[in-house]
């Protein structure tokens, strides 16, 4: 398979011939050589089939809905991550407060933890909804990028 044309023909011309990239004179040269050389004829036939196979290979493209499901830009991705990063300090803060109350052993601690935790969760929910809205503001997104 690795062997070259026994007549020393420049095989790259066969590729260019397939692609219609040769001058008329060079095209004629290739045609004449192909008539005389079985080695290059076999190469030509193989390359032609490979080229046809590649040229007719269709690839599925995501639909518009699938595109919309993806986080769109670097900025929206940052928002998504930001939501998580904000959640972590909240959790630590609430847990810390709960532990502190437990350590003090003060009366009504459970109620205060529940209230505090509830407020924290509510704030978090509000914040994530807000971030979601920001992310979903996709109208004129391209105009924003252009600026």
Which stretches of the chain bind Zn ion, using CB under 5 A?
5, 7, 9, 37, 39-40
User: What x/- string results for residues 91 through 110 when contact with another protein is judged by CB under 8 A?
Assistant: --------------------
> Cα–Cα distance between 103 and 110 in angstroms, integer?
12
Fill in the DSSP letter of residue 90: H
Cα 71 to chain center, whole Å?
10
Task: Please choose, out of 42-50, 79-87, 89-97, 128-136, the segment that lies near another protein by the rule CB under 8 A.
Answer: 42-50
Task: Please choose, out of 43-51, 85-93, 97-105, 119-127, the segment that lies near another protein by the rule CB under 8 A.
Answer: 43-51
3 binds another protein (CB under 8 A): no
Q: Is 10 or 136 the residue whose CB approaches Zn ion more closely?
A: 10
C-alpha separations of 2 from 5, 10, 43, 124 in Å: 10, 14, 11, 66
68 binds another protein (CB under 8 A): no
> Cα–Cα distance between 17 and 15 in angstroms, integer?
5
**In terms of DSSP H, where are the helices of the chain?**
12-18, 24-36, 38-55, 64-69, 74-104, 109-136, 141-146
Tell me which of another protein, Zn ion, none is bound by residue 59, counting a contact when its beta carbon lies within the kind-specific cut-off of 5 to 8 angstroms.
another protein
64 binds another protein (CB under 8 A): yes
Residue from 8, 24, 38, 56 that binds another protein (CB under 8 A)? 56
Continuous segment of H or E residues that includes residue 17: helix 12-18
Interacting residues with another protein (CB under 8 A) = 1-2, 11-12, 14-16, 19, 21, 43, 45-62, 64, 67, 70, 72-74, 139-140, 142-143, 145-146
């Amino acid at each position: 398979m690795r062997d070259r044309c026994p007549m020393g023909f420049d095989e790259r011309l066969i590729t260019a011939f397939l692609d219609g990239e040769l001058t008329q004179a060079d095209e004629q040269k290739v045609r004449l050589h192909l008539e005389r050389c079985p080695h290059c004829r076999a190469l030509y036939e193989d390359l032609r089939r490979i080229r046809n196979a590649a040229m007719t290979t269709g690839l599925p493209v995501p639909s518009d809905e699938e595109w919309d499901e993806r986080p769109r830009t670097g900025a929206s991705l940052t928002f998504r991550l930001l939501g998580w990063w904000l959640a972590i300090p909240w959790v630590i803060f609430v847990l810390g407060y709960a532990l502190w109350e437990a350590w003090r052993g003060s009366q009504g601690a459970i109620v205060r933890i529940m209230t505090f935790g509830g407020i924290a969760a509510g704030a978090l929910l509000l914040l994530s909804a807000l971030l979601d809205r920001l992310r979903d503001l996709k109208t004129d997104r391209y105009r924003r990028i252009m600026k």
